[in-house]
Structure 1
Amino acid sequence: MNYQHNFNPSISDMDVFNEIVKEKENIGYYNLVYQDTSDFKEYAKSVKQKNIVVIGIGGSTLGTYAIYKFLKHSKTLSKQLYFLETTDPIDIKSKVEAIDLKDTLFIVISKSGTTIETVSIFKYINSLVKCNQTNTLVITENDSKLNSYAKTNNIKTFEIPKDVGGRFSVFSAVGLLPLAIVGIDIDELLKGTRKIHDSFFGIDSNRDVYNRLLKKARFFVEYKNNFNINVVFSYSSRLEGFNKWYIQLWGESLGKIDINSTRQGLTPIGIIGPIDQHSFLQLIVEGKRDKTVTVIKVDDFDSNLKIPDIKLHGLEELDYLDNIKFSSLINQQADATIESINNLNDIPCDVITIDGVSERSIASLMYEYELLTSICAKFMYINAYDQPGVEAGKIILKEKLNK
């Protein structure tokens, strides 16, 4: 007797894990944790310009910005990093006017090499200053038209591997090279990713990452019809860039049609505490029960800034704030929010506490979210690495512009 089926029952954690292990053979982001960074560091040492401008959009900029935003106020960096990523003319003009273009290295990043936003901005920059081998670097696939342009003009290039998707590319040349140039320790970044990688894949004895990610992903997928919105509530303004990166990673990877032609998706929202305690928290607490909440805390802010012991007439009842560190205040605000949510007993909530403001901590967090995204995709029977939903708009735009 022959038997065929297309049933897709809920699969076991081990089956999902085995699928991820198999996927490692042709999805390149998993293995970036072990790459050699010597070429990146060698090139970084040769850069003399004080301003580094990344021209790109989406996966070409969001991850780099997330790391730079998180670290820049706690590092003594030798250079300034800027991002040109939108075709908004006001944004372009205001940023360009604030930069000394004669003392700038332009890093043009496009995996396909034909990204309209990126090429448009690069054309504009070329109208202001001559971009050549002395002030321009290209990061792209080795067979793209942008790569051909760079070779023709003797412009230095670094490769984006074909098996590394744009939104999973932050730990490739896309992110590591600009970050190395401005003075961030990219080897420490990769140590952070390796810690998560090795725990998940069982290379070390600690399987904590495996256990928590499989449990979290299974909950998200099995309860996706009840809790379709996933809120990341980051209690640090330094994580604003991470929130933006997470929204792209989650939305573009998981909003798909599965193998049964069923529309799937989990909706990402990124908010910042304590700012959004005064806005979005109201919706979480008393709104529809369709949201999970992940609170991200920073244990050590690398800051001793305190509320000063001064008297304000009429506000004496708030003198209990005197001499409290702002870092302590924001973490107690986070704890109060967590407790208020947990007391309701009907809002799924978890808490991630990263140890401090360091390369390892932000890289560990981001690599963990990359893994979580891939695991959710396996449970949902979808491809996390394509984006057919955005292709139609690109085709229409090209047709309009060609008329």
Structure 2
Amino acid sequence: MTIQNELDIDIRNLLGQAWSVKAEDLSAMAGLMEKAGRSLTKLRESGKGPDGSDVLFPRLPYILDEDVLITEEEKESLLHADELAKSADILISIGIGGSYLGNQMLFDVFCGPYWNMMDREERNGFPKVFFAGQNMDPHGLLQLVEEVERESRHAGRKCRVLLLVISKSGTTIEPSSALKALRTLLIPFADISLLAITDREKGSLRRYANENHLPCFTVPDGIGGRFSELSQVGLVFARLIGVDIKDLLSGARMVEEACRSEKAEENPALFLASLKYAASRKYGIAAEIIMPYGDTLRSFGWWYAQLLGESLGKKYDMAGHVIHYGRIPVAAVGTTDMHSLTQEHQQGAKNKLVQFISVKESRSRLSVPCEESGETGDVPMDFMLESARKANEQALAAEGRMSCAIKIRKITPFHLGALMYFFFLTIAYEGALADINAFDQPGVEDYKKILHQDIRDYIVRNK
């Protein structure tokens, strides 16, 4: 299957093999697949999820063309956000979950690990970038403070620090703690400005921004955190690091318009979702390894793990029956984890499928001398990377292990937007197939209640 030759989906090791999903399995599911197709059509038209709550992610590809998810004022501010970034020396993105993982992915893909070592001219005027609020561990936060202090000493003046804080409620413990700590600890050697992305009306962060006349963007209603990277949550950050957001959204739009059919054979997202559903339900697949090839897409695996785990890991179906649906998400990276995790994938329990991600056209070319069985010659490393992926795929198939491979033509904002949105749709369709709500996360709230109570008890004890 292919979407306009920009995104290829290879399902040979997921369908039609002696050890994989069979054509007759899909025939038996025909009614269910049609129902899932109709379910997403209805969701697109009504903007309502299976429980009646707002679910508006299908509007994301058109966010700049409509006033559904963003106001005209916000659009104008968004398109000029790069100017705000270029007035800062350091940008610190503060968030957790969907407010962190997607932005870390954008940074890793389009800036890379050596961004902060470049001079300002090499960064095209954009600031150095750091992340905070994605963990409660104080060590990393204090190290970040020390780094800003070093930058200030090196510059011989206070650093201009832009804190981008992303939290719908404003009370999520990790980002709110990081914000409070940084605003206190950075004062001696930084001039701090704040940019917030939060709830439209309610929440402590919105109140604080309004009271102090701070620039503020909205987390749109109907967009869950794990679906938010193509909303203000990701688009603002993308502008702050110089990523073309129109291209990002164009890729998503291509996929949305290619995957609207209610017939699985005409809809790659529905077809792949149906195969994964059958693999889980009939063939005991309990884990999904997302394995992009190359360091550039390493954090894409972390992003996808949240999307898969929070969306499909549900105790109840829509009728309230206990079903414990879902697959354990495992983020891996090729070729690194071929030397660590592949042994288990290859010979461990037959309860997993591997989702490969690769790129047709490498951004970099480098050949190195190789010797194989007496033959010597220069071999491109991108050829070896793809050969390693195919070798992994073939070895897994030889052991009767399911896998599928998605290949984007090249790494650009357009193709990353397409890839993210394709997975939005596969997850949504699989949720409909399983008759679960793929858009809530009630299990996440359980631990939060315990955590907040534990912190409250500590405060009371230590008054």
Is TM more than 0.5 here? yes
Pairing partner for 2:43 from 23, 37, 55: 23
**Residues paired across the two proteins, number:** 385
**Match of 1:177, as an amino acid?**
V
Counterpart of 2:241?
182
- Structure 1 CA distance, aligned partners of 2:168 and 2:375? 54
**Residues 235-259 of structure 1 deviation map (CA, whole Å, 9 limit, x = unaligned):** 1111111100111111111111213
Q: How do residues 55-94 of structure 1 correspond to structure 2 at under 5 angstroms?
A: 55-73=94-112, 78-84=126-132, 85-94=134-143
Pairing partner for 1:369 from 414, 423, 427: 423
**Match of 2:166, as an amino acid?**
I
**Residues 272-302 of structure 1 deviation map (CA, whole Å, 9 limit, x = unaligned):** 1111111211111111111111111111221
Checking the alignment, whether the CA contact within 8 Å between 2:79 and 2:239 is kept in structure 1 is yes
Q: How do residues 111-130 of structure 1 correspond to structure 2 at under 5 angstroms?
A: 111-130=168-187
Q: Highest relative contact order (Cα 8 Å, sep 6+), 1 or 2? A: 2
Distance 1:152 1:383, change over 3 A: same
Counterpart of 1:44?
82
CA shift, 1:121, in A, is 0.5
CA shift, 1:16, in A, is 0.8
Checking the alignment, whether the CA contact within 8 Å between 2:357 and 2:406 is kept in structure 1 is yes
Distance 1:319 1:123, change over 3 A: farther
Checking the alignment, whether the CA contact within 8 Å between 2:259 and 2:270 is kept in structure 1 is no
- Structure 2 CA distance, aligned partners of 1:282 and 1:111? 41
CA shift, 1:97, in A, is 2.2
Checking the alignment, whether the CA contact within 8 Å between 2:33 and 2:264 is kept in structure 1 is no
Counterpart of 1:149?
208
Q: How do residues 232-243 of structure 1 correspond to structure 2 at under 5 angstroms?
A: 232-243=290-301
SS at match of 1:98: helix
Checking the alignment, whether the CA contact within 8 Å between 1:227 and 1:291 is kept in structure 2 is yes
Tell me the C-alpha RMSD between the 2 structures. 2.5
- Structure 2 CA distance, aligned partners of 1:160 and 1:130? 28
- Confirm whether residue 246 of structure 1 aligns to residue 304 of structure 2: yes
**Match of 1:383, as an amino acid?**
N
Counterpart of 2:273?
217
**Residues 88-124 of structure 1 deviation map (CA, whole Å, 9 limit, x = unaligned):** 1111122332234722210010012211111100010
Distance 1:324 1:151, change over 3 A: same
- Confirm whether residue 164 of structure 1 aligns to residue 223 of structure 2: yes
**Match of 1:12, as an amino acid?**
L
Structure richer in strand, relative to its length: 2
**Residues 67-102 of structure 1 deviation map (CA, whole Å, 9 limit, x = unaligned):** 221122499553332211211111112233223472
Pairing partner for 1:285 from 332, 338, 346: 346
Distance 1:210 1:266, change over 3 A: farther
Distance 1:319 1:64, change over 3 A: farther
Q: Percent of aligned pairs with the same residue?
A: 28
**Match of 1:400, as an amino acid?**
D
- Structure 2 CA distance, aligned partners of 1:385 and 1:255? 11
**Match of 2:130, as an amino acid?**
Y
- Structure 2 CA distance, aligned partners of 1:317 and 1:266? 39
**Match of 1:343, as an amino acid?**
A
- Structure 2 CA distance, aligned partners of 1:156 and 1:98? 26
- Confirm whether residue 335 of structure 1 aligns to residue 393 of structure 2: no
Checking the alignment, whether the CA contact within 8 Å between 2:90 and 2:127 is kept in structure 1 is yes
- Structure 2 CA distance, aligned partners of 1:251 and 1:367? 16
Checking the alignment, whether the CA contact within 8 Å between 1:55 and 1:118 is kept in structure 2 is yes
- Confirm whether residue 294 of structure 1 aligns to residue 314 of structure 2: no
SS at match of 1:104: strand
- Structure 1 CA distance, aligned partners of 2:430 and 2:181? 40
CA shift, 1:308, in A, is 5.0
Counterpart of 1:393?
447
- Confirm whether residue 108 of structure 1 aligns to residue 165 of structure 2: yes
Pairing partner for 2:436 from 379, 382, 385: 382
**Match of 2:360, as an amino acid?**
D
Counterpart of 1:4?
none
Checking the alignment, whether the CA contact within 8 Å between 2:258 and 2:267 is kept in structure 1 is no
Mark the runs of 5 or more structure 1 residues left unpaired by the alignment.
Answer: 1-8, 310-315
SS at match of 2:379: coil
CA shift, 1:215, in A, is 2.2
- Structure 2 CA distance, aligned partners of 1:232 and 1:208? 23
Checking the alignment, whether the CA contact within 8 Å between 1:230 and 1:267 is kept in structure 2 is yes
- Structure 2 CA distance, aligned partners of 1:392 and 1:209? 40
Counterpart of 1:324?
379
Checking the alignment, whether the CA contact within 8 Å between 2:183 and 2:192 is kept in structure 1 is no
- Structure 2 CA distance, aligned partners of 1:66 and 1:261? 34
